[in-house]
Structure 1
Amino acid sequence: MKSSKRKICQVLALAISSISASAAMAAGPLVQGGGSSLVAPTIGNLTATPPGEIGLFGTSEATFTYYSVGSGAGQSAFLFNAPSNFGTGVTGTVDFANSDAALSTAQVTSYNNTGLGSTEGPLIQIPYIVTAITIPVINAPAVTSTTTPQTTPGQTHSISLNDSDLCGIFSGKIKDWNAVVNPENGSFYSATSKPITVVYRADSSGTSELLTRHLHAVCTTANTATGVTFVDSLTFANTTAFPSGVPSNFIGATGSGGVHTTLVGYSSAGTPAAVAYLSPDYANQFLAPSSSSASNPLAVASLLNATNGKYYSPLYTNATIALGSISAPSGATAAGNPNLWVPVAGETGYTALANPASGYPVSGTSQIIVSQCYLSSTVSKAVVDFLTDHYTNASFASLVNGNGFDTVPSSFKTAIVADFLSNTSGFGLDIGDSGTCSGVGR
């Protein structure tokens, strides 16, 4: 009898534990977003191992969910409040999006003037993290340098590329390692032929935008394949850049994970030689020591900054150096313009970001896009508190650094908190502002 009672109690305990766990997972309202695959390991989900920011934030206020679908899909999901962009069967509200590419001036204007801004409130776009874009080199010639920086676990020096190498490889002008010039000595890397496969993002990707922004700034007809003209774009293989289609040695992959998997396969097989572009958290754990997405390490190149003649690894500190003296918008009018927080073509600071005077040449910021207004005050508070943790909590900063990124400069943090999270600036731009958000919200 005692044994039976004990078993019944054990069953009840398990049932109660299961119910409690389910309740914890479902605590608070659902706050869902998605987009950039670059920041996906950092943001994470409740079940992510190691935990990302969502895991650190917990479920006491809301249950955050993130869909890694690429920057372009994330932008579109937010601008049209279209959760189906996150995947078949996803419903509800798009509360936020992350994109490594800034929204264009036209996108912001359309949203605010003729889109959902009139019924759901203005959008807010602010830099979320600082990132370099790495250039993985697979089955490349042996490293012989004694001066270039370390970029990969277990090495002392790295293969380095300059802008002409990047323009030649990513345009299809250079298709073999024996045609790649070592910027250290001006000679070719290898006399032995090693044909190069270029792996690019086939989806709409902010990582592509950060690369093509730089290529657009530095590539010329002299160092680029005939007929190829790079433009700043989320779509690498766009028809303006490649009017006749990408070269035959190019292969597309979807998402940061897709690029990483393709490159790991080439590395394991010992062939072919390959070059790609990828965020640090999918490259290796020298750059992103706590990223499980980088557990199968890829060798990456250092890059020569053409302006100051120095070699830089894609460490997050070198990405922050590349931002230079760019500062947060000052004053109510400027702070209320989403494009001034992340310079786009035509805005002050764009050229400096596209081809920085110092630091790692292919660097920038990844953005978060949120609404100023939410119909639920609970959602509004949860978004504010999540962002406050992201920008001010040391544990969140450590997680960002561990994934190979830097936190935004302190001047940006101060301005973001003052303008959007607390309204200590007095601009009325804060999330949930009673004047702006009366009767509107998503």
Structure 2
Amino acid sequence: MSSRFSAHRLLGTTSMLALSAGAILATAMIQPAAAATPSGGLWGGGSSLSSLTLRQVFDCYKGAQVSGDGYTPSSSFTSSPPSPGLLPSACSSAASRSAVEGLFAAVGSGRGQQAFISHDALQLLNGGAVPAAGLPALPPNFIDTASGSTNFNTYPYPGLTFAASDNPLPATLTTSAFTFTGLSTTGWATSNTSGSVSIGTAVSVSYDSTNFGPAIQLPLFEVPVAIAVNTNGLDQLLSAAATPANAGGAIQLSTAQVCAIFSGTVTDWNSTATITALDSTGAQTTQLFYADNVSTTAATSTANTKPYASSSTPIRVTYRADGSGTSFIFTNYLKASCLPLATTANKYASIFGATGLPSTSFSTLASAVTAAGNSVANWQSATGSSGVATAIGTASGSTTSGAIGYLSADFTTPYANSSVISGAPHSASVQNEAQRAAGVNHPYNQSTNTSTPFITPTPASADAAYSALTANATIPSTGTYADWNLYNYTYTSGSLSGKSILGIPNTTGAYPVAGTTFLDTYSCLANAATNVTGFLSWYYNAGGTAANSTVNSVLENNGFHALNSSGTQNLAATIYNQYLNSTSSTRISPTSGGSTACSGKTGA
């Protein structure tokens, strides 16, 4: 496997994070000292999937650009079709909120959780001991260097108020130790362009509930993870138009094709192989790998007799090298969707059923592919979402043509801001479970001369996936952070019994590769309590029956969706009533004058 990423977009490599509940070192437990967090800001980091969107949300909350990051409120804003780089006009007026600024370091979900569990802002880095290597990925801007700024404009942050990750926190925090790479407290950069980080020895830490109270894990928004494709070299490709334009318009992929590609079963777009599929009854059948390479315009469709590429064009699976919640979401989908296709011959049971899946480390799956005897010779890794986007790209090249990987929608066309992500790749439309059950295994049915394109990664299709979640599971109105692990809710009956609902949403129009970004914070806060609760109350619309329309406009402009507007449960209102309502016994509180549960605690 080779590693490729854009040095001008990424300031360094990211080490893998081993967030294993069983990884307990023999060394003494070390808990970093809690740092006081000055008033006036929200500081955190983690998920690169959500980094560009959170940058815009924080701009909107503050009512001003941070560090001239280029996201401009405009009357020309529209989220359908998307207008990358623009914000709703409502984001330009927020005088009552202007004192609170949110800054976010895109270091990957694994590092974000590492910082949260250890309550140590020094852990918000990409790793490496050479100059500039440890700094977060650019974009987005992660400090405020604006002229005349009165807010914090150095890095690392003096405290940690939250982290963001696209995979859930471990099931146990206070009784397990986690192996983290230690860092020195010197050698940090004071700007976002230069500096170095010294790496210390590995230490073992646990979440400090004694001082910080119970951990809090809140889903922020609904995420479709796009399967991004560079179709250069695919000369026989015919695909469907997509709405909005180019969202899923690159190629149509059935579940069977996705599983064949990411298992290393099919390694070339020139393949004429027969692969395993499921018919409408759930029984195993077969299809040609290139069977979906037909026009979905009924008037011009002809029988397909050629593979995607007329000559050898390697399928260059491109994946995240760092600890990534995007990898977790994607492997959660692969595990739920591909195991029903398992046969002795295709070895899917050992690949997609490998111990540790779903995982923030895509190498877990890659290792299972290698162990099964399948080839990963043309697979390539890249660091951060922007690294994967660059590695796939749209241009023809020895490492880009035929590349395929996975990215959040805002790193793909049409949602990506071209001034931030140059050459953002296009994405595939993907068959979902409802289509499979209806017998739609191909986007074009030649016997009836009709077309039914697969599902595009859009805000609406992500919301449809969440309607499957809320229709099949009840999220408790009170409970622990673990109850908000939305990936842990499974079907209880039928052929999908025991499978993750978000991993294989069985609803019309649902995009199948769905997940969320979690905000992780603390029950007991010191002087940052009003910063956190004020922002979250605004974000979740203070428990109202509808989502914050301005926030949702920002989210939809990036290809995401606010917590569900369809289905049977109002998740945003449930979160507000549990953690933000002043009458709730489980609310986020300051260490003085707040919940009695936080009395006497030092607070985060």
- TM-score band, normalised by shorter chain: 0.7 to 0.9
Would you say the 8 A contact 1:96–1:368 is kept in 2? yes
- 1 CA distance for matches of 2:408 and 2:264? 22
Matches within 5 A, 1:296-375: 296-309=423-436, 311-327=454-470, 329-331=475-477, 335-345=478-488, 351-358=500-507, 359-375=510-526
Q: 1:109 to 1:60 in 2, by over 3 A?
A: farther
Shift of 1:272: 2.7
5+ residue gaps, structure 1: 1-25
Matches within 5 A, 1:117-196: 117-138=209-230, 139=232, 141-142=234-235, 145=238, 148-150=240-242, 153=245, 157-179=249-271, 180-183=289-292, 188-196=307-315
Match of 1:397 among 552, 557, 560: 552
Match of 2:44 among 2, 18, 33: 33
Aligned to 1:8: none
Q: 1:344 to 1:225 in 2, by over 3 A?
A: closer
- 1 CA distance for matches of 2:322 and 2:93? 30
Amino acid at match of 2:43: Q
Would you say the 8 A contact 2:40–2:531 is kept in 1? no
Matches within 5 A, 1:157-306: 157-179=249-271, 180-183=289-292, 188-219=307-338, 220-221=342-343, 222-223=345-346, 228-229=351-352, 230=354, 231-238=357-364, 241-242=368-369, 244=371, 247-264=376-393, 266-267=395-396, 272-285=401-414, 288=415, 293-294=420-421, 296-306=423-433
Q: Percent identity?
A: 29
Shift of 1:293: 4.1
CA root-mean-square deviation:
3.4
- Most deviating of 303-312 and 102-111: 102-111
Would you say the 8 A contact 1:284–1:295 is kept in 2? no
- Most deviating of 219-228 and 300-309: 219-228
Amino acid at match of 2:521: V
Q: Does 1:94 align with 2:240?
A: no
- 2 CA distance for matches of 1:351 and 1:149? 30
Q: Does 1:82 align with 2:125?
A: no
- 2 CA distance for matches of 1:226 and 1:428? 42
5+ residue gaps, structure 2: 1-36, 59-65, 73-86, 126-133, 135-154, 178-204, 272-288, 295-303, 441-453, 493-498, 542-547
Q: 1:168 to 1:431 in 2, by over 3 A?
A: farther
Residue-pair matches, total: 407
State TM-score, norm by structure 1.
0.81
Would you say the 8 A contact 2:370–2:376 is kept in 1? no
CA offsets 1:199-249 (integer angstroms, 9 cap, x no match): 100000000000100111222245557963452000001276346597111
Q: Which has the higher helix share?
A: 1
- Most deviating of 204-213 and 383-392: 383-392
CA offsets 1:259-299 (integer angstroms, 9 cap, x no match): 111122744779531111111000012xx276854563422
Q: 1:102 to 1:149 in 2, by over 3 A?
A: farther
Q: 1:151 to 1:192 in 2, by over 3 A?
A: farther
Q: 1:28 to 1:391 in 2, by over 3 A?
A: same
- 2 CA distance for matches of 1:56 and 1:290? 23
Helix, strand or coil: the match of 1:124?
strand
Match of 1:63 among 94, 101, 106: 101
Amino acid at match of 2:161: D
- 1 CA distance for matches of 2:257 and 2:45? 34
Helix, strand or coil: the match of 2:259?
helix
Match of 2:70 among 28, 38, 49: 49
Shift of 1:128: 0.5
Would you say the 8 A contact 1:27–1:60 is kept in 2? no
Would you say the 8 A contact 1:108–1:338 is kept in 2? no
Helix, strand or coil: the match of 1:284?
coil
Helix, strand or coil: the match of 1:365?
strand
- 2 CA distance for matches of 1:165 and 1:156? 15
Aligned to 2:576: 417
- 1 CA distance for matches of 2:359 and 2:172? 14
Shift of 1:345: 4.3
Q: 1:197 to 1:225 in 2, by over 3 A?
A: farther
